[in-house]
Amino acid sequence: MSQISVIIPSYNRRHLLGYTINSILNQTLPPYEVIVVDDNSTDGTIGWLEEQYKSKLKIIKNVGKGPGAARNTGLNIAKGKYIQFFDSDDLLSNNKFEVQLQLLQNKTDTFVYGPYAIATAPPDDWNLTDAILQYYPFPGDNLLKWIYRGWCSITQACLFPRELIEKVGPWREDIHTHEDREYWYRVAKTVSSAPLHENKSCTVYRQHENQLTLKTERQLQRSLDAIIVDQGILNNNDIIDFVSKLLLKARINATKDFINNLTSENKYKTSVIYKATHRINSKINRLRTSSNWEKMHGTTTDYRIFMDYIKNVQM
């Protein structure tokens, strides 16, 4: 066994959850335990899981509401030495645990991260709908600098030592979007050695109709949560380079401008200078990568790489 505890928050994902669980149970290095935390689903998720998987899972109800609370609920009962946070609609290649645990073995002060492909997956057709991110590592080893500049991986593509997670502290439960970005900031403040990177495994960040609908409906709330998180980071007055702090301020300004345009209320005062800074920086970086992503996200759109990855996704 791998000593890996997998924690999966789930809300009304019964139609996709089986694919996710199977891709985890079919790892070449099986997990120590898989904990599914149901966030008060109304689609019969718990009964279906108990019928389909019986003793293969630990199934519990969320103590609280939202993804942050669900992850905390799972952490409270997890027994593994390593923690894998996972989402109820995503998938992973069958070598992920083996590859990442080999790198992380006997390390407690950092984490390992790998690539994730933004794609559709069965029951829809396999299709790389955007790009593979973090195929290449972010430049240098100063994670905090890149957090300020907008870097944010998905925790599904990473593996953490439990000892590090305990130092980082619990997930925030008062925000239900961008809670991962706030968590990454605290991870960056906690690690004492450079994050480890690999691109032999891959996580599939699944795109599907329900997800896209929810994303559209929650644009305003996502933006409001983004301001809470980014303004909180800025207010901490970390010792950071001038450019990184400038870009964070510019991103906050851009989010405020977006909210003003979305609601037509002009709730926030914005700066033309910061607006221009954000636009110019984004345009330059996207021109450099010929994609919708900046260089720090380590992207590739090579479809052959994607096809090689999905050969090892077993659902």
Read off the pLDDT of residues 62-119 as tens digits, 9 standing for 90 and up.
988 899 999 999 999 999 999 999 999 999 999 999 999 999 998 999 999 999 999 9
pLDDT tens digit string along 78-89? 999 999 999 999
**Packed helices 179-190 and 219-235: angle between N→C axes, nearest 10 degrees:** 20
| pLDDT for residue 266 is more than 60 | yes
**Each residue's pLDDT tens digit, 123-158:** 889 999 999 999 999 998 899 999 999 999 999 999
Specify the pLDDT at position 288: 86
Give the number of other CB atoms < 10 A from CB of residue 302.
Answer: 13
What does DSSP say about strands 112-113 and 158-161: parallel, antiparallel, or unpaired? antiparallel
Q: In this structure, are residues 12 and 308 in contact, taking their beta carbons and an 8 Å threshold?
A: no
pLDDT of residue 153: 93
Asked if residue 292 belongs to a domain, the reply is yes
Is 240 part of a structural domain of the chain? yes
What is the tens place of the pLDDT at every residue in 161-178? 999 999 999 999 999 889
Whole domain around residue 271: which residue ranges?
Answer: 215-297
Residue 14 vs residues 43, 48, 141, 179: alpha-carbon distances, Å: 7, 8, 39, 23
How does the average pLDDT of the chain come out, rounded?
93
Kindly state whether residue 60 falls inside one of the protein's structural domains: no
83 φ, ψ (degrees, to nearest 5): -120, 130
CB 16 within 8 A of CB 308: no
Q: Is 30 among the domain residues? A: no
Whose tokens are 């960040």? That residue is 205
End-to-end CA distance of the chain: 20
- Per-residue pLDDT at 1: 65
The rounded distance, in Å, linking the Cα atoms of 222 and 175 is 9
C-alpha distances in angstroms, 58 versus 9, 38, 279?
12, 11, 47
Report the distance separating Cα 163 and Cα 75, nearest Å: 12
Looking at the domain assignment, is residue 272 inside a domain? yes
Position 29 scores a pLDDT of 97
What is the C-alpha separation between 305 and 136, in angstroms, rounded? 13
Identify whether 24 is part of a domain: no
pLDDT given at position 208: 81
Radius of gyration of the chain (CA): 19
CB 250 within 8 A of CB 285: no
Alpha-carbon span 313 to 96, nearest angstrom: 10
pLDDT value at position 127?
96
pLDDT value, residue 214: 52
> At 210, is the pLDDT very low, low, confident or very high (cuts 50, 70, 90)?
low
Nearest alpha carbon to residue 9 among 75, 101, 81: 75
Distance CA 83, CA 170 (A): 13
In a domain, 88, yes or no: no
How many percent of the chain have pLDDT more than 70?
97
Average pLDDT (193-202) is 97
* Residue indicated by tokens 């996704």: 313
Residues 6 or more apart from 303 whose CB is under 8 A from it?
128
Sheet containing 58-61, strands listed edge to edge, beginning at the edge strand earlier in sequence: 58-61, 33-38, 4-10, 82-85, 158-161, 112-113, 196-197
CA distance 87 to 155: 9
Q: Count the domains in the chain.
A: 1
Residue 286 covered by a domain: yes
